[in-house]
Structure 1
Amino acid sequence: MLSLQFLLTAFVVVIAPGTGVIYTLAIGLGKGRRAALMAAFGCTIGIVPHLMAATLGLAALLHTSALLFQTVKFAGVAYLMYLAWQMLKSDGALTARADRVAETGWRTARRGALINILNPKLSIFFLALLPPFLSGNVATATAEMVALGAVFMAMTFGVFVLYGIFAAAARDHLLASGRIMRWLNRSFAAIFAALAGRLALERA
């Protein structure tokens, strides 16, 4: 079940820059290390519904129901565009600024969780990723799916924390310049908008 092949596969998937990574980096730069940790935690928690869906077979329903898939997908697209707008606003919740804007850690985590929850491809991803690494014993299939999913989540959290700490460490050097701050905000906004466009083109 738990093999080096699975760990390597999961690691490659986790380190690849995606929406959660971009969000964690943006939070680390804009709000510092503690906020980045909460962002990483939220993105990791957002995996749970998709893992449950894959384990219970609901991911197959999402894959076959065009209406359900499109509904979740475009909710995700709208949310990513909202995050892009928040990066551009001078008083936006995600705007990177030299002064740290107070925000509860749970709000930061909730935003990260929603990013993953509203991505329907994650459920289908787990449905495709995990079964090849199962032992083949039907009686233990569910427990094995949960265990592999838990390992994947732990790796996700660990890697995202490293991304966040790196961004927070670079914060003081980068945000000393107003020009760099504006460039960062516009760049992250463009990335979120591009991710929204990519999600909009996804098919079940």
Structure 2
Amino acid sequence: MIPLKEISYFALAALVLVISPGPNMIYLISRSITQGRKSGLISLAGIMCGFLFHIILVSFGLTAVLFAVPFVYSTIKTLGVFYLLYLAYQAVKPNGKGLFETRTDLSNDKPGKLFKIGVLTTVLNPKVAVFYLSFFPYFIKPEYGSVFLQSLQLGITQVSISFTVNFLIVLTAAQVSLFFAKNPTWVKIQKWFMASVLLMLALKMAVSKEK
């Protein structure tokens, strides 16, 4: 199993990624505000199922790749570093999307469609796939045991954090959205904090030793 210290770093990365603006968050907030908490929670259930789809694919894929082509780790790590730097830039670039930017043009969909859209929003979200492919190899090491079980451990950690944060967002979407609209200074603080953490994680990944 992966040591607690390494899991803590991964959890921090997962937390920063889940609070960064993206299709999942924008969809959940928009749906919660325009159609109510129940619809937001149904959409969240679909998004969580989409995460499980990615986790299973990545877990089986990494188990094969890391044993068959070990040196691919350095390539994936480099891509992960550049991806983190890209996200840090996206967080603070001028005219970037705000944390609670929402859509108001959503139709009043039934539960089945809400769930399906939630699944597809995650399955087709490149941010999710790149996160798993970039971060999993960095935290997985053969000396910790089964690569497959380590992948599942990371996946469960990420899903737990994502569910908790998004669940709270669904319950408080309208209030928090109104707060940020009235206090734009907090939006700037959030953006620069997010960028700083992403930069720190990128540097840590860049200076890490090869397996």
Q: Is the 8 A contact 2:88 2:196 kept in 1?
A: yes
Task: Return the alpha-carbon distance in structure 2 between the equivalents of residues 14 and 44 of structure 1.
Answer: 21
Note if contact 2:81-2:202 (Cα within 8 Å) is conserved in structure 1. Answer: yes
Counting aligned pairs with the same residue, the percent is: 14
Alignment correspondent of 1:19: 13
Residues 44-83 of structure 1 aligned to structure 2 (within 5 Å): 45-48=53-56, 50-53=58-61, 55-56=63-64, 58-60=65-67, 63=70, 65=71, 68-83=72-87
Q: Distance in 2 between matches of 1:166 and 1:44?
A: 20
Q: Bigger CA drift: 168-177 or 29-38?
A: 29-38
Alpha-carbon distance change, 18 to 48 in structure 1, aligned in 2, over 3 angstroms = farther
**Under a length normalisation based on structure 2, what TM-score does the superposition of the two structures give?**
0.61
1:28-107 to 2 correspondences below 5 Å: 31=26, 32=29, 45-48=53-56, 50-53=58-61, 55-56=63-64, 58-60=65-67, 63=70, 65=71, 68-93=72-97, 95-97=98-100, 99-100=101-102, 105-106=121-122
Aligned counterpart in structure 1 of residue 138 of structure 2, from 113, 121, 131: 121
- Could you list the runs of 5+ residues in structure 2 that have no partner in the other structure? 33-39, 105-116
Aligned partners of 2:85 and 2:199 also within 8 Å? yes
- Compute the RMSD of aligned alpha carbons: 4.1
Contact 1:87 1:189 in 2 (8 A): yes
1:150-183 residue CA offsets vs partner (Å, 9 max, x unmatched): 5763454234201222355565335141000010
Q: How many residues are paired up?
A: 176
Alignment correspondent of 1:165: 167
Q: Specify every segment of 5 or more residues in structure 1 that has no aligned partner in the other structure, as ranges.
A: 1-5, 132-144
Aligned to 1:109: 125
Which residue identity does 2:130 align to in structure 1?
Answer: L
Whole-angstrom CA distance in 2 between matches of 1:37 and 1:110: 19
**Matched letter for residue 74 of structure 1:** T
Report the counterpart of residue 113 of structure 2 in structure 1: none
Question: Which string of whole-angstrom CA distances, capped at 9 and with x for unpartnered residues, describes residues 57-105 of structure 1?
Answer: x324554x2xx33221111111111111111124335x424x4258x93
